[in-house]
Structure 1
């Protein structure tokens, strides 16, 4: 049985990776069709931003409860339910003919999405030892970034041929099937049932009173450091790529959709490269702080480059900006590696949820604020290229400011990691 369980962990990793790949398509996919949605449903830029914000608002509000119940009741069923909700929400979204149903669909996706990442971290912590954790987490993060790649050129090309509804219906169906696969691998299969009841790695979780657990998290420096790191690295990138990057290149540079999608592809490649590189590098250095500080600072400088050029840097530089901010997002796995290194297992789930709340608070606020600035600066629907350029130049101050908080968070992180036990609680 021990040999079977050892082999089964790779099936667990593959199943989780496939699910996360599909889930990630629903974080970035709507950005490919944002202009079509705005035209079809006759909404302003600020209102369009609510499609992304409502998804991430639910995600944000549920992160700490998800962390608590993942720690206490087991993350497997929560992950399976999350993938299922993602699929159902995507199907509702793809069949919407009124704007309110678009919002309902994204809200269901947000509910499902809130159950994904924290429970992935907790499941992998059961199956893989600490020395392999950074690399394994990087593989799953890479799978998510492959999903993001799918929503660039491939999805844009598919939409050009079939319209936007059919691709989203197919992805929704695949998510439902992935939930069924997770149910079997994590809960129904014999090794999965054994792992649910027996800790298969060195992780030992002592149950603490909920009030004490939450108080310890809020008082803990690592909690706030990872909160701000995720706010800057992941949330800012996700908010922009999910909605505004493709419209930016279409409005300011006059690019057709398929060409504009190359720049989201560039960002996704940056994230794809960063996950294994930063996971392995930080493991080798035995340090999360220094690598995270470097990438957070580079992301801040990248957003500022657009502001400095008044909204329209040279196209090559704009491509470099997209790669750098994508690389920063891919490095956000260091948030959870730092938690694994410095936080006792009894509150790792709720601390991960708290940190994830930071990322999705950024993703909630930025799309609506960015759209509101675009409207206020005269860059809304029907604006001239010059007006759009000015509006975006002003609006890009926002992601730069958000990224500055990520730099601050990385400075708060502890240095070299230490062994964490409950004695440190």
Structure 2
């Protein structure tokens, strides 16, 4: 019995070697994701400017991010299937072309409709990046490195968010809308050249099985991939992990954090930008810690997920219940805790990865990745509608976070035990196989 799972210290037969060349090729893929995150989060520092440029209200403003995430979430399974079938290079090439075109279009948008179309195009390209990068990691690094490789990819992606909050926000204040977004779009053209000339799907001697691209394709291939991935409790537990952990931090960074800090908490835009930067820095630090802890202690996954959700809910509740404006110390704690949401969501891939064979990793990752972005999209919409309905009452609008956290935590608790049990069975089989096959 084969599996993509690997117990610590065990090298499975056929494991990729890793090494310097793997770091170089994988680094190109991660750079694509970095640029995509920069574009994805650029609206987070331009929300107030967008309302003025297009003359829109809170609901219309949230439509930008909702449409972008709707496209992103809706494409996760198709993209996962395409990655499994076509490989990473083709998908990343297409992704770079689409999100760069979307960023250029957003830069020159003179109407709300054109801006919406541009964000949808950007979301389409963005949707092709992270799953491809995860697949690239499984093709170039040993399976035991999976948790750390995935968390580092997410960490570097968050550095794109750091560029948004530290650099793009200041450029926007100085040079205005079109020069800022058009200038940032040039980064996509640069990374496109690296993908074309240097990226490879897998190391020599580690080609995927021939039958994967053979006569078993078409509708049968699609149906089989989705069915087999969904059948695994680890895939579904991973999806709900991603769902319940990611969205509070995503919603805050992607759109509503800056308006909340400026309009509800009375901070100036500079201070609010620094707090958004703190969320990103916390995300990067937590990503390193979570990756190392899970790589060494797989049983820590559940405590980390539950702890992240409970801490987020507790700090959110304290902030929203605080009479008047919250003190700066509490806002700092809020931003630090929100930074753990992204790394917490990445644990979802550590549930799905051991549950699925290498040839099914893209499809399974697509299912998992749908979770958090579906929750984010739902919350973005709910906050926008509630703000308009309540006259910009952020306490009521942001309370919608608790509803989705409760739903996600119940589903995670229901599936976790089954996922762990199946994973333990695979680990035993992997140990037996490793004993009988020379390394």
TM tier, smaller: 0.7 to 0.9
2:261 matched to 1:249?
Answer: yes
Distance verdict in 2 for CA 1:373–1:129, change over 3 Å: same
- Which of 326, 332, 341 is equivalent to 1:328? 341
In structure 2, C-alpha distance between the alignment counterparts of 1:81 and 1:339, rounded to whole Å: 26
Residue 395 (structure 2) aligns with: 393
2:92 matched to 1:90?
Answer: no
Distance verdict in 2 for CA 1:310–1:19, change over 3 Å: farther
Distance verdict in 2 for CA 1:280–1:194, change over 3 Å: closer
- Which of 242, 263, 270 is equivalent to 2:282? 270
- Which of 100, 109, 133 is equivalent to 1:120? 133
- Which of 215, 229, 232 is equivalent to 2:241? 229
Q: Is the 8 A contact 2:101 2:122 kept in 1?
A: yes
Residue 189 (structure 1) aligns with: none
Distance verdict in 2 for CA 1:62–1:248, change over 3 Å: same
Distance verdict in 2 for CA 1:265–1:206, change over 3 Å: farther
State the 1:289 CA deviation: 2.4
2:296 matched to 1:284?
Answer: yes
In structure 2, C-alpha distance between the alignment counterparts of 1:153 and 1:168, rounded to whole Å: 15
In structure 2, C-alpha distance between the alignment counterparts of 1:76 and 1:292, rounded to whole Å: 32
State the 1:84 CA deviation: 2.2
Normalised TM-score (structure 1):
0.88
State the 1:177 CA deviation: 1.5
State the 1:222 CA deviation: 2.0
2:135 matched to 1:135?
Answer: no
In structure 2, C-alpha distance between the alignment counterparts of 1:263 and 1:220, rounded to whole Å: 39
State the 1:9 CA deviation: 1.2
Partner deviation per Cα, 1:9-29 (whole Å, 9 max, x = no partner): 121122122222211112221
- Which of 404, 407, 417 is equivalent to 2:406? 404
Q: Is the 8 A contact 1:343 1:420 kept in 2?
A: no
In structure 1, C-alpha distance between the alignment counterparts of 2:109 and 2:62, rounded to whole Å: 17
2:212 matched to 1:199?
Answer: no
SS at match of 1:361: helix
Q: Which moved more, 1:270-279 or 1:229-238?
A: 229-238
Distance verdict in 2 for CA 1:163–1:152, change over 3 Å: same
In structure 1, C-alpha distance between the alignment counterparts of 2:161 and 2:384, rounded to whole Å: 22
- Which of 218, 222, 229 is equivalent to 2:230? 218
Higher relative contact order (CA 8 A, sep 6+): 2
2:10 matched to 1:8?
Answer: no
State the 1:194 CA deviation: 6.3
Distance verdict in 2 for CA 1:280–1:405, change over 3 Å: farther
State the 1:297 CA deviation: 2.1
2:361 matched to 1:359?
Answer: no
State the 1:290 CA deviation: 2.5
> What do you get for the CA RMSD once the two structures are aligned?
2.5
2:319 matched to 1:306?
Answer: yes
SS at match of 2:353: helix
SS at match of 2:128: coil
Q: Which moved more, 1:323-332 or 1:139-148?
A: 323-332
Runs of 4+ in 1 over 6 A off after TM superposition: 203-206
Q: Is the 8 A contact 1:228 1:405 kept in 2?
A: no
Unpaired segments of 5 or more residues in structure 1? 187-191, 380-390
Aligned length: 402
Q: Is the 8 A contact 1:342 1:419 kept in 2?
A: no
Normalised TM-score (structure 2):
0.85
Q: Is the 8 A contact 2:238 2:350 kept in 1?
A: no
- Which of 84, 94, 103 is equivalent to 1:81? 94
Distance verdict in 2 for CA 1:193–1:82, change over 3 Å: closer
In structure 2, C-alpha distance between the alignment counterparts of 1:118 and 1:198, rounded to whole Å: 23
Q: Which moved more, 1:13-22 or 1:255-264?
A: 13-22
Q: Is the 8 A contact 2:62 2:380 kept in 1?
A: yes
Alignment of 1:166-205 (within 5 A): 166-186=179-199, 192=200, 195=203, 198-199=205-206
Q: Is the 8 A contact 1:299 1:325 kept in 2?
A: yes
Q: Is the 8 A contact 2:242 2:346 kept in 1?
A: no
Partner deviation per Cα, 1:222-259 (whole Å, 9 max, x = no partner): 22222221122223321231111001111012222111
In structure 2, C-alpha distance between the alignment counterparts of 1:393 and 1:334, rounded to whole Å: 30
Unpaired segments of 5 or more residues in structure 2? 1-15, 431-439
In structure 2, C-alpha distance between the alignment counterparts of 1:63 and 1:82, rounded to whole Å: 13
Partner deviation per Cα, 1:187-216 (whole Å, 9 max, x = no partner): xxxxx3763x7427xx87974743233223
Partner deviation per Cα, 1:141-180 (whole Å, 9 max, x = no partner): 1111111111113222222211132222122110121122
